[in-house]
Amino acid sequence: MTTAMKLYYMPNACPLVPQIVMEWMGQNYTLQEVPRDELKSPWFLSLNPLGSVPVLIDGDITLTQNAAILEYLNELHPEAGLHGQDLVERMEVRRWFGFCNDDLHRTISMIFGVGAYSDDPEIQQLLVDKTAQRVRFLFEIADKQLEGKQWLTSQRSIADPYLYVILRWAKAKDIDLSGLDNLERFFANMNSDPGVQAALQKQGVA
């Protein structure tokens, strides 16, 4: 019997993305929560010098960064079909995964880390407001993409959990999602998905 993979995470953070993917793939794994005050501790920095989650351990392999982790999982489980069935589908999946990872995630992160840019409350609020406007613009693009679709691409893929997790953050930060009906439909469908529910329950955030 092979040893289960171990995913280091913080609740509701971006490791929820590969966790949902592992649930969809039927991958055997365990979770280890990392308290925020231990992210810069020597034991965790030995796993990821950046001091951030996710970290995935599979035997002698240690992986960081969602893009690398999900590429690895896709290579292990091509039968899951979460990275597209042909060249065009794979490029579409990478396109929308990149949109979530490079545009949406990077942008909304400003709201969570605004204190790193200024100690002035007025400047912080200005940064939050401007960032929320940009996030809304990006969500409008995703909403248009979801018109008449259940998933971001032609089928379920690694991009969908990423969009879902960022939507959870946006709702927690009260970002305006009014009128984005396709996104709301997508969010409701993801919420009711058995794999998503299993991942949320294992993190205790369902």
Helix (H) or strand (E) holding 55: strand 55-58
* Residues 58-81 pLDDT 10s: 999 999 999 999 999 999 999 999
Of the pLDDT bands very low, low, confident and very high (cuts 50, 70, 90), residue 117 is: confident
The one-character DSSP state at 60 is T
Tell me whether residue 135 is exposed, middle or buried, using C-beta atoms within 10 angstroms of its C-beta: 0 to 12, 13 to 18, 19 or more: buried
Contacts 24+ apart (CB under 8 A), 25-29: 25/73, 25/76, 25/77, 25/80, 25/82, 27/73, 27/76, 27/77, 28/2, 28/4, 29/4, 29/5
Question: What is the rounded CA–CA span in Å between residue 36 and residue 143?
Answer: 33
What pTM does this model have? 0.95
Structural domains in the chain plus CATH codes: 5-81+196-203 (3.40.30.10), 87-193 (1.20.1050.10)
Cα end-to-end span (Å), the chain: 30
Question: How much is the average pLDDT of 136-142?
Answer: 98
Report the chain's C-alpha Rg in angstroms: 17
pLDDT tens digits, one per residue of 26-54: 999 999 999 999 999 999 999 999 999 99
Confidence band of 1 (pLDDT split at 50, 70, 90): very low
